[in-house]
A = this chain, B = another copy of it.
């Protein structure tokens, strides 16, 4: 004989229903679609649930309904400040909603990403937020067959899997270089670390801008696969100076590198911007309060995360966003470090 698995004192939906004097299924409906109940029963179930302190069992719900209320988020890094802002936006948008977040770290590997994707999609998530537009062919195929809203974040491009929100890294970098050119700088170096697809597109934007201005020179480019850091910014900047001592400006693919370059300038007693202009990318908080203040390209990361989560929710609620691809743009923030060449 099998056991009687009794769980004494646990409040189940049945208890709530009994107290409210309705059937369990009616109580169930109260939590999923309150409008379907008559006002009287709705009030009775509500007060019964509150009185008993009922908390639904999500596992049972997921099993019976064949779907979860979890939104998966795949990002390449937990350390990068950029993703902290995106995450904050996502969490804020989902706060108070029925949905929870399952976060996974791909560590900048699309194979890792594919593995996590398979694992995750098997659990029938309510939605998915995934970083970038470079997934493996298999990942692509899997996502196209899956039946849940998917938002690709961080950049925009052709052929979204479902929805997309971000900006053009190519254009943003190009605009940063255009700014430096307009300020009178000519020998503009490029510093890049962890050359992920988005950083690569920034390099493309740099190359396009420099080529258009007939100023392109491969010796001005220093990149590495090493993860970014302030210290690395100093090192790369030193490398760049060794390769091209005559540079008058440097564009860094992120603000950490820019800060590192600034410190390296200080160590070399190089005046910024008089002897060396610096422009970063992302406009992290400290850029506005360094000495000198550092120019950067502002990207709307918090809004990106927030909107991505909202797009998922809206789709789930049947109010699909009119525009599946959202370009949040960017803006070049001009500060002291790239003041006009005198």
Contacts and interface: CB of A to CB of B under 8 A. Distances in A.
Q: Is the interface of A mostly helix, strand, loop or mixed?
A: helix
Contacts of A87: 78
A74 B100 CA distance: 14
A102 interface: yes
Interface in A115-130: 118-119, 122-123
A263 B289 contact: yes
Interface string A83-113: 0110110010001000011110100000000
Nearest to A55: B122
Which residue, A59, A259, A290, has most C-beta atoms of chain B within 10 A?
A59
A286 B256 contact: yes
Interface in A281-310: 285-286, 288-291
A60 to B, nearest CB: 5
A234 B234 CA distance: 23
Nearest to A56: B122
**Chain copies in complex:** 2
Given A59-B59, A63-B60, A91-B105, A230 B291 contact: no
15 contacts: A55-B119, A58-B123, A60-B63, A78-B84, A81-B84, A84-B84, A229-B286, A230-B286, A230-B290, A231-B288, A233-B289, A256-B286, A260-B286, A260-B289, A263-B290
A28 interface: no
Interface string A255-266: 010011001101
A66 to B, nearest CB: 8
A263 B291 contact: yes
A68 interface: yes
A342 interface: no
A289 B234 contact: yes
Contacts of A38: none
Given A55-B119, A58-B59, A259-B286, 17 more contacts: A7-B66, A55-B118, A59-B60, A59-B68, A59-B123, A78-B87, A101-B103, A102-B102, A103-B103, A229-B286, A229-B289, A230-B285, A231-B285, A231-B289, A260-B286, A263-B291, A266-B291
Contact of A79 (B88, B123, B266, B291): B88
A79 B302 CA distance: 11
Nearest 5 Cβ contacts at the A-B interface: A59-B62, A55-B122, A230-B286, A266-B291, A231-B289
Contacts of A4: none
A57 interface: yes
Nearest to A100: B102
